[in-house]
Each structure stands twice: as structure tokens, then as C-alpha cells.
Structure 1
Amino acid sequence: MRSLSRVPALPLVVGVVLAFLVAGCAQPYSSSRGPSSGPTGQGVVWRSGTDTASALDSYRVTPWNTDDGDDPRAVSSPDVPGRAAIEYSVPAGGTRSELEPAYRSFRPGDEYWFGFAVYLPPDFPAGTSDWQVIAQWKNSGDGSPPLSVQVRGGRFVLDGGEGIGEHWTRDIGPARTGARTDLVLRVHFSDDPDEGSVDVVQDGREVVSDYRPRGGTLYPDEVSYLKTGLYRSSDIDADGSVFYDDVVIATSRDAASSLASGS
């Protein structure tokens, strides 16, 4: 038998290095997207889980998820029997309870559809004039995001641009409490106001079409990533909770619209 100590070392080392390089090339997005614990289906690239044991598995754990708020938790859905929801709760005077879907950042030229099945409980302070963000495409730098969905004055509104001095806002529709609302958005990501655009479908009806924010949908030289939950002004003196039955990132409107359907 040939002694292993006499086998030339160089071929072995080269082989190990080549194997490592091939393995690395096989998973180019491993650092930027995580598994989806929920069902996918054609056109869906990320989805939240459907049961309390797995609903949080496809979100990133970050130290900035909560700020004077409760940690997000998986609970039984308040409006869809047999399904999990994620509850985000912030007490009076608190500011943040959020999660980041474990999916890659969005860059200039990207276009995706996003589906949110949102339940606002009867005691949610929807009528306040202070800002309450329930979803935001947060820029990679500091400051307010280029694009967010807020609840304010009893309405869902699009908002953004403040971080570059180009603040804008656009009404979506009524924010009903004690009921679920399905919001489906198409976002074309660009820092060019002539290219960045947004469509919004509320409960199956298109309410915003090809809206082009004056600040674009990205900030120059930055990327954005999605955050869901509740982030709001500390001036709000009432407790607030938001339940997400489902969150979908997809490449088509139909795929993003299959909210909490089990498809």
C-alpha cells in the first residue's frame, strides 16, 4: 500500500481550491436571500410561512427589529382560520416592531410585485395624523426611505423622498379597522423620476397606476430592502398592533395577489 505521506501535496491542494471555487459559484445569492418557509408557486420568489412554527423562519433577525416595541411574534391569524399571522405591536409612545424578509436588496432596473395581506384590529389608531409605516423599502443609507406604505388620517398612503429633500405622498385608499386589506404593489426601482414607478392594487382594484414619484423609488448610489411591521411616531399615545397574514415577493401581479390562499 502506498504511504499517504509520500503522495505529492500540490495536486491535492489544487483540487481542494477548485472544489471550493465551484461550490461558491453554484450559490451566488447565498448571502443575500434566505429560504422561504411558506409555499411558493410560479412567479413567487419569496413568501412568509403559513404556520406558527415556521412563519418567522424566512425573516432576518437583526438588532434593529424593535425599538420601544414588542418583538414580532407568530400567532394564529385573527381573520383566517387555521393560518398563522405575524403580529407587530407597539405600545403608546413606542416606535418600532419590524422584520426584514430574507431576500436580496433591490437595485436600479429591478421590477417586482409585492403582496401584503394586512389586518388592522378594531382598536388600531388609524385616524391619527401622525405617521405610521407598515411597509418600507428602506434605503441602504441613513434617513427616511425613498418609498413606504403608511396609515394616516384613516387612509393608506404612499410616502417617500424625504431623505433627499424630495418629499412626496400619494393616497391609496381607506384603511379599514377590524378587517383585512390586500395591498399589491408593482415597483420599478430607479433613482430617475422618469423611470421609477409604482402601481397599487387594493382588494383587487387598481387604485394607483404608473405613479412616478418626483424622488424616484431609490436614492442615488444606494439600494433598498423590504421591511414589514409597524414603525411610527412616538407622539402616538395609543397602543397599536398590525397583523400580517401573508407577505409575497413575486415577478407578476397574479403571483403577488395569491395572498393567504395556500397556493
Structure 2
Amino acid sequence: MPSPTIGRRTRPAYPILLLLAPVLAAGCATTRPGVPPDGAAPTPPAVWATDEQPAAPSAATAPTGPARPAPSSAGPPATAPRAGLRHVFPVRADDVAYHPTHGAYPATDIFADCGEPFVAVTDGTVVEVSRTDRYDKRGPQGPENGGLSVALLGDDGVRYYGSHLSVVTTGVDAGVRVRAGQQLGKVGRTGNANNVCHVHFGISPPCPGRDGWWIRRGVLWPARYLDSWKRGGNREPAAEVTAWQRKHGCPKAP
């Protein structure tokens, strides 16, 4: 498994992998694709996040004790989902690539240099933040795989999740409002990122009251939405998310 740091305009010499081996049940793909694919305002909230950036901390060593505080979280806002909102590509970088597939469940890995901005896909409310890397490869695989992460509930009723971040932006906390394109954090390799700089990106319904990492990590294939946003389009996943939830509800942990 490759483990070099991806530098600016430098790509590791990965072998051609047309058949990606599935990773652990809640894991991420670990190869960067050789060729990237083609590429009314909300009610003013009381608090908006800022774009101030702290220095990126080193990933914390996973604790060995049984007590692990949960990531900060907030319930979804009591507003009806809205259509026609602006959507943007979640990583702001010149050199970016992603797979149309992912191991074990629907999601994708967006590869870019460590430190590139991870941004809000659309206007919405931050619902969950993890600023500590608690992943331990010797422990249960799934709950802590994401390392540093941010989950955003868009005003379109869709949850957007990015993990393996190197840092979460100051002021981005549960309950805070953000705008499309606003920086939430930076690309990193925390959690089970296998030393490869990327953002795990998942799309899912919020599932209040019966939530969990197995839903938050992603339930839809994001590639066709990413393709649109990367080209400046505005394809909206809300209808597909709604249809998925009508069929599956909020399933319990696998």
C-alpha cells in the first residue's frame, strides 16, 4: 500500500488498478486516480462560521482507555428542505481527482494535496465535528475511521460528510451556519487514510434520532454529482437521497 506524502504537482507512482480491492467495511480507497474526471439566499442565522485558519496540528495518538468522548453534534435545523440551492465541488484545488467507485459501500475519495481547502457543498448547518483523531487500527473498524471530520446538513435536506482532514477550521462547530464554498477544513490523512492525502466524501440523509457512522459515511454514489459541480453545474442529490430513505429508512449498524 503506498505511503508517500503527495506534494504539489507530484503524484506517487501507483500501479494501474482497474479492479480496486475492497477495503475494510468502513474504510477508504487508497489509490489516487491517474486522470481526474471532466470536469434565493437562506434566512440570516444568528451565527456564521469564519474562514480563519489555525495551524494544522499533528494527528493525535489514539487513546487506549475505554472512554471516548463523542464528536460534537447538533440536531438538524427545523427548516423545510429547499431546492435550487447553489452547489460547489467540496475540495478547492487545481490538482484534484476521485474514483467513481469506493470499497464496500457508496462514497468516494477525493485526492488532493494535504492542506488544500475542504469547503461546504451548499448553504447549511454544521451538525457534527470531530477535531481529534481517535482511530486505532487495532480497535473496532468503523466508528473512528474518519479521523478529523465535518458533517454538514445542507438547506437542501442532504447531509454532506468529509473526513481524514488535517484540521477543522476555527469557528466550524455543531450548530453553526455556513455558506456554499466556505472553508470547513483542510485535506489530510487522519483516521484510516493509509497515509494518502484525501477527503472521504459521503452523501446521506440526516436520520435524526437513529444516526450513526454507517449512514453518515455515505449511502449514494457521489461521482455524478461531483462531475456536475466540478464543471460548474448544479446537479442536486436531494431527490435521490429522499428516495433512498423512503426505501431504507435509517438502518441500524451493519
Normalising by structure 1, we get a TM-score of 0.31
Query: Which of 1 and 2 has greater Rg?
Result: 1
